[in-house]
Amino acid sequence: MPKKVVPEGARRRRRPTKAGVVLSEQLIVTTALRMLREHGGEGLTARRLGAALGADPSTLYRYFRGMDELILAVGDELIGRALRGWRATDDWRADLRELGLRIHAAYLAHPQAAVLTASRVSGRANEIAADEAVLGVLHRAGFPVRDAVRVYHCFIDQTLAFAALDAAALALPEAARRADEAVWQATYARLPATTHPHIAPAARHLVAEMNVSAYPAALDMLIASAASELG
């Protein structure tokens, strides 16, 4: 059975840990993010996290039912960072574009965490706030509710899919990532037109484009398509 989570007011540790800090959900999430950046997903365990916090690993279960719930909280933290400072304007296209770029950038700032969380649905506060913000932008643009939901669905799935894809590349060992990037110049740019009549004339453009995220361009295409429906 899942462990019982102690209510917020009762679970706060009043005495500092061995590291001289007072535990909180926010501190645990922030420390987990740092550990993911330094050690990757396999390196994030209750034992290691407890050691980093100077606390007994069992103490973590006063805040989270398990490591999976902690991972969901980490993802929600990334979304919260994306929303920080964002304000709606009277330009729905610019607002939607900024939200998308902010979410994408927040995940890429923590690629190891993004790989674990971009495909998850947490129902936590920041995730809900982001959904409300996007749907609000689309409502103010004039989309009927059903159409707004369809555009929102395309928007958020596209954003998180690119975040997961681009983060996975960044999370690779540097040597592997550089080797992947070099393939476009080392292989594709050398394919002859006699055997590859479509790749060959496009080769220099592929070299220039394919190691850069396509998300901004894809986002612009999505927004343009959505705008065309409004007439």
Cα gap 13→2, rounded to integer Å: 22
Q: Hey, how many other C-beta atoms are within 10 angstroms of the C-beta on 14?
A: 6
Which pLDDT belongs to residue 1? 43
CA dihedral (71, 35, 55, 14) positive or negative: negative
Which pLDDT belongs to residue 17? 62
Which pLDDT belongs to residue 114? 97
CATH for the 75-230 domain, from 1.10.10.10, 1.10.357.10, 3.30.70.2740, 3.10.105.10 = 1.10.357.10
Cα gap 104→191, rounded to integer Å: 33
Question: At which residue do the structure tokens 């749907």 appear?
Answer: 135
Question: At which residue do the structure tokens 């506060």 appear?
Answer: 125
Instruction: Report the amino acid identity of residue 17.
Output: T
Q: Which residues contact 137 (CB under 8 A, 6 or more apart)?
A: 88, 92, 95, 96, 99
pLDDT in tens, the chain (231 residues): 444 555 555 555 555 666 567 889 999 999 999 999 998 888 899 999 999 999 999 889 999 999 999 999 999 999 999 999 999 999 999 999 999 999 999 999 999 999 999 999 999 999 999 999 999 999 999 999 999 999 999 999 999 999 999 999 999 999 999 999 999 999 999 999 999 999 999 999 999 999 999 999 999 999 999 999 997
Which pLDDT belongs to residue 165? 97
In this structure, what token pair is assigned to residue 126? 């920041």
Cα gap 105→27, rounded to integer Å: 22
Residue of 73, 69, 88, 76 lying closest to 133 (CA atoms): 88
Domain parsing of the chain, residue ranges: 8-65, 75-230
Which pLDDT belongs to residue 25? 94
Residue 125 exposed, middle or buried by CB count within 10 Å (0-12, 13-18, 19+): exposed
Which pLDDT belongs to residue 31? 95
- In the CATH scheme, what is the code of domain 8-65? 1.10.10.60
